[in-house]
A and B are shown apart, each in its own frame.
Chain A
Amino acid sequence: MRQVIIVGSGPAGYTAAIYAARANLAPLVIASSVEFGGELMKTTEVENFPGFPDGIMGPDLMVKMQEQAERFGAEIVYDDVVKLELDGDVKRVTLGNGDVHESLTLIYATGSAYRKLGLDDETRLSGYGVSWCATCDGAFFKQKKVAVIGGGDSALEEATFLTRFADKVYLVHRRDKLRASAALQDRAFADPKIEFLWNEEVAHVYGDEKVTGIGLLDTNTGEEKTLDVTGMFVAIGADPRTHLVHGQLELSPEGTITVEGRSSRTSLPGVFAAGDVIDPTYKQAATAAGSGVVAALDAEKYLAELSPEVIAKAVPVAV
């Protein structure tokens, strides 16, 4: 029996682990088998995380957070949660390898998953020119023309990154202005390789075995046109990853997990949530880290106030 299990290993999960470990709660972090470290593992330079004036590579930052959590006694398991049982005093977590872990509290910090456009051919051509990760796949588009879909920070980051390889990057956005931060906008507007296509929506992805072009629909005139690109990078946001808690925790209209006020308390006692999975608005590494702190402190307080009968059920883990 554990005192704290943390599901997720992005900035929220690892920061919660650092705080819980420093409170001598010996947390177990379920980090995922292939997505450990979260979204930042797929980024390059992170320039807005405080404390790194020269920037830091996303994967390096996540390894540092992991090491910091381990230094204070967090234990990390590289597997995926397949089932959560959250009602009752003892929370049960079942992993892909069949192991079951029990805990008095659970911190849910699974982040979000890339949103798709929702076109049939998008899924069929995924990995054949359709991509959600410029840093993973950009290098295969040397001297090619590619399109980035979206208007937020990640779309502009991907577009700027892709100019290292591609001859031409079209930024396709369905509105006439961007949501992205001013610093990223200035950089993209100044880049001669990036061309902005405003008020355009992707209606088709063309290609038999790989992408040969995309069909765009003008949102004002309804006119259609074809853009000859061999790559399409989709960066239209992400949806909170809540499938493991559907029917167990209350969700907001935005699809995030509902928490009480500025706390991390979910609709079930002993279950706390942190990071992008509760945040429909800000979704930054630094805000996720702060949210992880809140969850660890809330869990610590909950444990301190548990009745002796409940604690008696929990056999402390030998350290």
Chain B
Amino acid sequence: MSTAKDVTDATFQSEVLDSDKTIMVDFWAEWCGPCRAVSPILDAIAAEHSEKLSIVKLNVDDNPETAMKYGITSIPAMKVYRGGEVVKTVIGAKPKPALEADLAEFLA
């Protein structure tokens, strides 16, 4: 089971867009195999860099409004939000070193 907190259509504004922290949202679904594969890797990155980057999850089936607003057409999709804006998008499950390289600017 993932340790990441769930955000929803109802809480996205307050917990992600209005946050004063850098937050990465993992857009996922139950039926998505690669999402399940990448989930423990995201947990590990979150645990190692908790002071720099918070990682939360959004289930695209339960929260279609937010998924549609951000034009999600492929999951897992990981979007980094800062000051209410998307500042980075990573698409697809990748090994930990590759994800860390993609996210380097937010983990340093």
Contacts and interface: CB of A to CB of B under 8 A. Distances in A.
B4 interface: no
Interface string A25-37: 0000000111111
Interface in B64-89: 67, 71-75, 77
Contacts of A41: 33-34, 37
A209 B32 CA distance: 23
Most chain A CB within 10 A, of B32, B38, B73, is at B73
Given A80-B95, A127-B77, A139-B29, A34 B72 contact: no
Interface string B28-60: 010111100110010000000000000000001
Contacts of A151: none
Nearest to B95: A33
Interface residues of B, number: 24
Contact of A137 (B61, B73, B97): B73
A42 B72 contact: no
B34 A140 contact: no
Given A42-B33, A136-B33, A34 B74 contact: no
Contacts of A131: 73-74
A139 B93 CA distance: 18
Contacts of A37: 33
A16 B7 CA distance: 42
A137 B75 CA distance: 7
A127 B93 CA distance: 12
B29 to A, nearest CB: 7
Contact of B33 (A32, A59, A140): A59
A32 B89 CA distance: 23
Contacts of A133: 34
B27 to A, nearest CB: 10
Interface in A126-170: 126-129, 131, 133, 135-137, 139-141
Contacts of A141: 73
Q: Please give me the 3 A-B residue pairs with the lowest Cβ-Cβ distance, nearest first.
A: A127-B91, A34-B93, A127-B74
Interface of B: 29, 31-34, 37-38, 41, 60-61, 67, 71-75, 77, 91-97
Interface of A: 32-37, 41-42, 59, 79-80, 96, 126-129, 131, 133, 135-137, 139-141, 209-210, 230-231
